[in-house]
């Protein structure tokens, strides 16, 4: 058995830290998997930028409604009591501070909570930051799910982002295939190691100093 968490295990671990009754927005990619792992006894109300509150889990192929997709163009379901609305109203919910948690993917997260998740600056990169810019400013708590390193082995948790920022100082907790890491006033702090992973391995693969769990101030996570 290989060390670390799979994409699904990362999503399940992130879901454990979402409080009961939270209004939650999920980014594209690994964050979308979080919707499959609601802990027993809890209820999350999922929001998508294109105008749905009460998004359910992905449908089977036979259950697909061709008119029902999330902002990532993936088929979804709607739970009983779900509401549909214009995307302008959807962004009013985001900008008005009515969404409790957002789970995003990323290219880089800095030790001060900066996030870069929309462009590497490459000539063929997408032309604009999109809704993520609103999410990181309007949502009460920003979580990130990402592989700890790139395919080339470069750290994604860094001292300072070298890519264009989506938001400054907004990330509070990071879930990777190796660990759960908090962003604190003193930088990165380890919360939990994935099975089979050592602190030394996480330290080696992190592009900034990282505090072990017994050091540094506690962060404001319930």
Question: What domains are there in the chain, each with its CATH number?
Answer: 7-211 (3.40.1080.10)
Residue 65: strand, helix, or coil: coil
pLDDT of residue 123: 78
pLDDT tens digits along 176-192: 999 999 999 999 999 99
Structure confidence at residue 128 as a pLDDT band (50, 70, 90): low
pLDDT, tens digit, 9 for 90 and up, residues 67-104? 999 988 889 999 999 999 999 999 999 999 999 999 99
Per-residue pLDDT, 222:
40
**CA-wise closest residue to 170 among 141, 131, 146:** 141
Q: Cite the active site residues.
A: 49
Higher pLDDT, 121 or 174: 174
Whether residue 217 is predicted with pLDDT greater than 60 in this model: the reply is no
Task: Find the helix or strand (DSSP H, E) in which 191 lies.
Answer: strand 187-193
* CA–CA distance, 25 with 99 (Å, rounded to integer): 7
In terms of Cα–Cα distance, which of 198, 170, 193, 171 is closest to 182?
A: 171
Question: Tell me, what's the pLDDT at 220?
Answer: 42
Q: What is the dihedral of CA 106, 112, 113, 118, to 10 degrees?
A: -40
Per-residue tokens: 154 = 């470069």
| Predicted confidence band of residue 126 (pLDDT cuts 50, 70, 90) | low
φ, ψ (nearest 5 deg) of residue 175: -115, 115
Query: What are the residues facing 115 on neighbouring strands?
Result: 109, 167
Q: Is the pLDDT of residue 215 over 70?
A: no
- Give the per-residue pLDDT at 188: 98
* pLDDT at residue number 190: 98
Mean model confidence pLDDT for the chain: 92
């Amino acid at each position: 058995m290989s060390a670390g968490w799979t994409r699904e295990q990362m999503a399940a671990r992130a879901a454990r830290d979402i409080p009961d009754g939270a209004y939650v927005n999920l980014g594209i990619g690994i964050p979308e998997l979080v919707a499959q792992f609601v802990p027993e006894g809890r209820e999350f109300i999922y929001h998508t930028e294109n105008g749905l509150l009460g998004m359910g889990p992905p449908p089977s192929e036979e259950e697909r409604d061709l008119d029902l997709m999330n902002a990532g163009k993936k088929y979804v379901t709607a739970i009983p009591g779900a509401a549909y609305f214009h995307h302008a109203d959807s962004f009013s919910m985001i900008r008005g501070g009515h969404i409790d948690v957002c789970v995003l993917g990323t290219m880089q997260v800095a030790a001060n909570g900066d996030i870069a998740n929309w462009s590497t600056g490459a000539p063929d990169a997408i032309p604009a930051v999109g809704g993520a810019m609103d999410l990181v400013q309007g949502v009460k708590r920003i979580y990130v799910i990402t592989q700890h390193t790139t395919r080339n082995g470069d750290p994604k948790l860094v001292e300072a982002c070298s890519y264009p920022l989506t938001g400054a100082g907004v990330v509070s907790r990071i879930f990777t295939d190796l660990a759960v890491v908090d962003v604190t006033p003193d930088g990165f702090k380890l919360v939990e190691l994935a099975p089979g992973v050592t602190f030394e391995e996480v330290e080696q693969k992190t592009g900034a100093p990282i505090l072990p769990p017994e050091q540094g101030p506690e962060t404001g996570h319930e």
